[in-house]
Chain A
């Protein structure tokens, strides 16, 4: 039976009990029979009156829902990931991993240096395409401009990895207001800025994934890192909240909480402290950036993950006393 779409709408206002966005259409067959149907949100922006297709019955707990499947509509366009702090460290590893998964990568970083060039080359060597976006995540206008550039070039944003982060470690009395603000602005406000700017594009695009790179320090605290730990804990609250708010729009929000990762940031920690840390955790080594990247890839691919903080820490969170 061939069904023809005679009118449609893209619903961006989720309604209970479905808590989801989708398109709704009225279809008609050759005999003039009409039905109201749902259309998957992956067809947002692609529906047209007169389109033909099939109607399949889709089971749900709330009842069996008629779903229209338009025939011959190409939805396999390449997906886009925006990785902040994507030029180096964990960000570069994530950029490369998602590139291997077939994503076009927007590498957002503060400046285009030799490391950024290396990452961009690795992405194109992996068969994908990279766009470097000079972005200061702590500045809203800079994020707006950068995201506009990404959408202008790649047409959409499907994955946002809030990875950009800095440290300015000291004990409380030595953390100046500037040191406090700088860390919060980049690590936490930066994630807010990027999430807020990117979300409307994700909604129109039919959903997406936001991965916040938190830290075990955000779960456990750490001597000399009040500002950094507060920012990483803040990311966890942001993750939980946005996971609730954005789920109806098809946007999942998940945080990863790595232990010490073999990057410039961790290696800047004084060696005696790092050695002492390793002696106290079950697997005494540093996490590889690629290991974090593989977890991020899994989060992107596994649609059941939402609103959780996943430690990747070699057992730090189960070590006693807490690392």
Chain B
């Protein structure tokens, strides 16, 4: 059975939204329903999955009935999923399985997070930190520090420099300039990154993704052509795990879950990395994007930096990665992130990405992960 995306909608991500989360949810639900080419009835949605990491980012739980209520209270079933930063990818993974098994025909996925709901980054980081290994939480290791442990090990083993990591931030910010949905549309230079303060050495403020408010929605269908002549087909989706703790991993510089999910997604879709025209990957910190290149087979181990140094993954490069601006420039409202990544690929493969359109993109990939890569979902899409 084929499964395809037939509609996508996203709010502009913001550093501090004035909207309450229930209004954000309502806006994306109405938005995505209105974006289906041939239209879709509210009563045709039989599954709702809400992706949201923490009720401390918006003050709301039990959001599925809220969405079902917006749909007019029919027989739709729904629930919330939480899988840290890959809540959105997980929602898609579950929807795919429901649809493939015939348990549902049309799934509405809603992702949201209002991180500015908490008054300080010290509190935001505490909530996020709780997605780590219990020993990491006990020591008091916010995510930036865990990625910094990975970065230190990576730089020491492969001789990468802070300036190399900075290139990822520069690239993604340049991409974000073309994306009206991006929270921070600001061109930055390597020098700007290098001058930004350390948050957890060797990672600096500009190596880090943005604490953001946002919401996005998708409609995924097992009868996609009934709703549009140009659906974006979900060719494969895979989920893998790694040990949650960085210290538990045999290779501190690898992201096993990303590698395994990537391998399976490529295999199931019957493609190789070379066949992919555009990617949205989880650049929570610059080091992550470098390692993701290697895990997804775009570069040999230790040579990920060469791709960004040589412009291979730049907007005009051979395989543009994060044309949306990524988590770095577009933003990272946790529950919305994975949903928004799929929305971006949907627009890219339909030729609707405006100024940031990757010309002729036919095959797209999303890599969304949680924690320091303890859970990764990789999905392959095609026209």
Residues of A near any B CB (own CB < 8 A)? 6-20, 22, 24-26, 34-38, 49, 62-66, 200, 204, 248
Chain B: minimal CB distance from A245 (Å): 11
Q: How far is the CA of A15 from the CA of B199 in the complex (A)?
A: 11
Beta-carbon nearest neighbor of B141 in chain A:
A24
Contact between A10 and B138, CB atoms less than 8 A apart: no
Beta-carbon nearest neighbor of A39 in chain B:
B139
Q: How far is the CA of A49 from the CA of B201 in the complex (A)?
A: 14
Beta-carbon nearest neighbor of A67 in chain B:
B139
Given A11-B145, A15-B142, A26-B149, 13 further pairs, Cβ under 8 A: A8-B149, A9-B202, A13-B121, A15-B122, A16-B122, A16-B125, A24-B139, A36-B133, A38-B139, A38-B140, A49-B152, A49-B156, A63-B138
Contact between B149 and A24, CB atoms less than 8 A apart: yes
Task: Give every chain A residue within 8 A of B138 (Cβ-Cβ).
Answer: 62-65
Task: Give every chain B residue within 8 A of A36 (Cβ-Cβ).
Answer: 133, 135-136, 139, 141, 149, 245-247
* Interface residue ranges of B282-335 to A (CB < 8 Å): none
Task: Give every chain A residue within 8 A of B197 (Cβ-Cβ).
Answer: 12, 200
Task: Give every chain A residue within 8 A of B18 (Cβ-Cβ).
Answer: none
Considering residues A17, A26, A37, A66, which has the most beta carbons from chain B within 10 angstroms of its beta carbon?
Answer: A26
Task: Give every chain B residue within 8 A of A13 (Cβ-Cβ).
Answer: 121-122, 125, 142, 144-145, 199-200
Contact between B135 and A24, CB atoms less than 8 A apart: no
Q: How far is the CA of A18 from the CA of B140 in the complex (A)?
A: 7
Contact between B126 and A15, CB atoms less than 8 A apart: yes
Task: Give every chain B residue within 8 A of A25 (Cβ-Cβ).
Answer: 149
Contact between A17 and B126, CB atoms less than 8 A apart: yes
Which of B125, B135, B252 is A15 in contact with, Cβ under 8 Å? B125
Contact between B125 and A7, CB atoms less than 8 A apart: no
Q: SS class of chain A's interface: helix, strand, loop or mixed?
A: strand
Contact between A37 and B145, CB atoms less than 8 A apart: no
Contact between A10 and B122, CB atoms less than 8 A apart: no
Contact between A10 and B198, CB atoms less than 8 A apart: yes
Task: Give every chain B residue within 8 A of A34 (Cβ-Cβ).
Answer: 247-248
Chain A: minimal CB distance from B178 (Å): 30
Residue B60 lies at the interface, judged by CB distance under 8 Å to chain A: no
Residue B148 lies at the interface, judged by CB distance under 8 Å to chain A: yes
Q: How many A-B residue pairs have CB under 8 A?
A: 104
Residue B153 lies at the interface, judged by CB distance under 8 Å to chain A: yes
Chain A: minimal CB distance from B121 (Å): 7
Chain B: minimal CB distance from A311 (Å): 32
Considering residues B138, B145, B245, which has the most beta carbons from chain A within 10 angstroms of its beta carbon?
Answer: B145
Task: Give every chain A residue within 8 A of B248 (Cβ-Cβ).
Answer: 34
On chain B, the number of residues with a Cβ less than 8 Å from chain A's Cβ atoms is: 35
Q: How far is the CA of A87 from the CA of B246 in the complex (A)?
A: 52
Q: How far is the CA of A11 from the CA of B201 in the complex (A)?
A: 7
Residue B37 lies at the interface, judged by CB distance under 8 Å to chain A: no
Residue B355 lies at the interface, judged by CB distance under 8 Å to chain A: no
Considering residues B136, B139, B144, B152, which has the most beta carbons from chain A within 10 angstroms of its beta carbon?
Answer: B139
Contact between A16 and B123, CB atoms less than 8 A apart: yes
Q: SS class of chain B's interface: helix, strand, loop or mixed?
A: helix
Chain A: minimal CB distance from B139 (Å): 5
Residue B129 lies at the interface, judged by CB distance under 8 Å to chain A: yes
Task: Give every chain A residue within 8 A of B201 (Cβ-Cβ).
Answer: 9-10, 12
Considering residues B151, B198, B202, B203, which has the most beta carbons from chain A within 10 angstroms of its beta carbon?
Answer: B198
Task: Give every chain A residue within 8 A of B149 (Cβ-Cβ).
Answer: 7-9, 24-26, 36
Task: Write 6 A-B pairs (CB below 8 A) sorted by A numbering.
Answer: A6-B252, A9-B203, A10-B200, A11-B148, A16-B122, A35-B135
Chain A: minimal CB distance from B194 (Å): 15
Considering residues B126, B247, B248, which has the most beta carbons from chain A within 10 angstroms of its beta carbon?
Answer: B247
Task: Give every chain B residue within 8 A of A26 (Cβ-Cβ).
Answer: 149, 153, 246-247, 252
Considering residues A9, A12, A14, A24, which has the most beta carbons from chain B within 10 angstroms of its beta carbon?
Answer: A9
Contact between A15 and B200, CB atoms less than 8 A apart: no
Q: How far is the CA of A66 from the CA of B139 in the complex (A)?
A: 7
Chain B: minimal CB distance from A29 (Å): 12
Task: Give every chain B residue within 8 A of A64 (Cβ-Cβ).
Answer: 138
Contact between B200 and A11, CB atoms less than 8 A apart: yes
* Interface residue ranges of B187-201 to A (CB < 8 Å): 197-201
Task: Give every chain A residue within 8 A of B200 (Cβ-Cβ).
Answer: 9-13, 24
Q: A12-B201, A13-B199 are in contact. Are A19 and B122 (CB under 8 A)?
A: yes
Contact between A37 and B139, CB atoms less than 8 A apart: yes
Q: How far is the CA of A22 from the CA of B142 in the complex (A)?
A: 12
Task: Give every chain A residue within 8 A of B199 (Cβ-Cβ).
Answer: 11-13
Q: How far is the CA of A19 from the CA of B165 in the complex (A)?
A: 28
Chain B: minimal CB distance from A9 (Å): 3
Chain B: minimal CB distance from A12 (Å): 5
Chain A: minimal CB distance from B143 (Å): 10
Chain B: minimal CB distance from A196 (Å): 13
Considering residues A12, A15, A62, which has the most beta carbons from chain B within 10 angstroms of its beta carbon?
Answer: A15
Contact between B198 and A15, CB atoms less than 8 A apart: no
Chain A: minimal CB distance from B245 (Å): 6
Contact between A35 and B247, CB atoms less than 8 A apart: yes
Q: How far is the CA of A64 from the CA of B141 in the complex (A)?
A: 15
* Interface residue ranges of B142-176 to A (CB < 8 Å): 142, 144-145, 148-153, 156
Q: How far is the CA of A25 from the CA of B140 in the complex (A)?
A: 11
Which of A19, A20, A24, A49 is B145 in contact with, Cβ under 8 Å? A24
Q: How far is the CA of A34 from the CA of B121 in the complex (A)?
A: 30
Chain B: minimal CB distance from A24 (Å): 5
Task: Give every chain A residue within 8 A of B129 (Cβ-Cβ).
Answer: 15
Q: A22-B140, A26-B246, A36-B247 are in contact. Are A7 and B152 (CB under 8 A)?
A: yes
Q: How far is the CA of A9 from the CA of B162 in the complex (A)?
A: 14
Q: How far is the CA of A204 from the CA of B125 in the complex (A)?
A: 20
